[in-house]
Structure 1
Amino acid sequence: MPLDQVLMQIKDDPSLKWPEKMKGDPNKRNRNKQGKLKSFLGRDHKDEKLKGKAEELSPPSLGEIRVIIGGSSTGQSSKSKKTYLKVVQSVQLSGRPPRDRNTDEQAITFTEEEAERIHHPYDDAIVITLLITDYTTRRVLVDNGSSTDILYLPAFQQMRLGRDRLRPVNSPLVGFGGMKVQPVGTITLPVVVGAYPQQITKDVNFLVVDCSSSYNAIIGRPTLNSWKVATSTYHLSVKFSTDYGVGQVQGDQLVVRECYLAMLATDEQV
């Protein structure tokens, strides 16, 4: 219905009382009685006060739980650790890493169709196969929570690498519960991830550890960041950019279950 017809219908409605025309000179009116809506503009400020009050009444934190660290990813010397700290502080203050960004990198995505290839439900880890110093190495755990890359001694021995190639390590690895493990040494080995031509080949600094494990190696944050990978535990997949498109390594659920059963068998023997 047109607006003018609506106004004509409600004009004579006795339940509606139209406001009287304001009398007097508009320039002489009391300005203090105007602008009542301004009070609503201050709500944001009041909300901030209420938020601050709620924070004051909240119980204090008992402490801060940090990630588990260990190994030699930042270097052994005091100078290298201070340099690493400065880089971290630079990122926190500037909001960006102190390097140029490559805008030509491909977008990495995971689709629901890829997840349909996985047997659900599950809470499996990502266990992949890598080519380490020309050996096809299975049972490699992708661990975003590890601050170092680990090669277990049995795998090192199967690669027929002499111990004379190991470099000494002074810092122990610290795991859950505060347990410390002294590495046998460290070694730099070439690692290939992915299938040709969507693959990356880079040297990886492994800590060689002599302790029982169902895995042959662990790839941690140093290498994952170096490869610029995106991991998805939901898809059990690792993806990364290459000069020939996005590469991918799929986790093996069967191998994961085998590793799990092997760990249970080891625990029973202890």
Structure 2
Amino acid sequence: MKKDLKVMAVRNQAPISAADNTITFLPEDCQHGTSAEDALFVISARIGTGLVRRILVDTGADSNILFRGAFDKLGLHNDNLQTHRHGVTGLGDNFLKPDGSITLPITIGTSSQKKTILSEFVVLKDSTAYNVILGRKTINDFSAVIFTKYLLMKFRTDDGSVGTIHGD
């Protein structure tokens, strides 16, 4: 009989709802036509003290890259850089020597639907169409899930809810 009471107590507890914390992708999440299905996933985020646009989210990149133009626009200086011991392999397997690395806060999302983490960025002089390349480690640190067909990223926010970012 005591065993039955324990079972009843468990059954009478309020169920833990995972629905609010489950990351799902629904057709209504798609905000673009089918022409964007093969587009690169590009977002904006707050890095350091500034809003940075044209951030390429690249699940194939090992490191975060902060290009020199964006570094300068954020008001950062060479004395903020740490020595970076490893080179970066670019397109065509070209070896690129970084200026250094810097750890900065990066915030994705807005208002209550945001998350901030500290992340290391390798600073490169080379320029591209992007200001930043966001790599795999940071994507994982955000607990982010990307659905490239919808150009959509969902992630756990600072308050535990699910945040959403649509590609620019």
TM-score w.r.t. length of structure 1: 0.53
Which of the pair is proportionally richer in strand? 2
- Count of residue pairs brought into register by the alignment: 149
- 1:246 is aligned to 162
User: Based on CA coordinates, which of the two structures has the bigger radius of gyration?
Assistant: 1
Of 93, 106, 110 in structure 2, the residue corresponding to residue 191 of structure 1 is 106
Q: What is the distance in 2 between the residues matched to 1:169 and 1:134?
A: 22
Q: What is the distance in 1 between the residues matched to 2:160 and 2:146?
A: 19
SS in 1 for 2:127: coil
User: 1:99-178 counterparts in 2 under 5 A?
Assistant: 106-115=21-30, 117-122=31-36, 123-178=38-93
Task: Decide whether the 8 Å contact of 2:64 with 2:122 is kept in 1.
Answer: yes
Q: What is the distance in 2 between the residues matched to 1:249 and 1:134?
A: 20
User: 1:59-74 counterparts in 2 under 5 A?
Assistant: none
Q: What is the distance in 2 between the residues matched to 1:244 and 1:179?
A: 41
Q: What is the distance in 2 between the residues matched to 1:244 and 1:180?
A: 40
- 1:37 is aligned to none
Runs of 5+ unmatched residues, structure 1: 1-103, 253-270
Taking every aligned residue pair, what percent have the same amino acid on both sides?
Answer: 35
Runs of 5+ unmatched residues, structure 2: 1-17
Task: Decide whether the 8 Å contact of 1:198 with 1:244 is kept in 2.
Answer: no
SS in 2 for 1:121: helix
Which of the pair is proportionally richer in helix? 1
Q: What is the distance in 1 between the residues matched to 2:113 and 2:131?
A: 24
Shift in Å at residue 194 of structure 1?
0.6
For the aligned residues, what is the CA RMSD? Answer: 1.6
Which digits, 9 at most, give the CA deviation of each residue in 1:82-132, with x for residues without a partner? xxxxxxxxxxxxxxxxxxxxxx782101111222x2122231011000011
Task: Decide whether the 8 Å contact of 2:59 with 2:135 is kept in 1.
Answer: yes
Q: What is the distance in 1 between the residues matched to 2:98 and 2:149?
A: 32
Which aligned segments of 4 or more residues in structure 1 are displaced greater than 4 angstroms? none
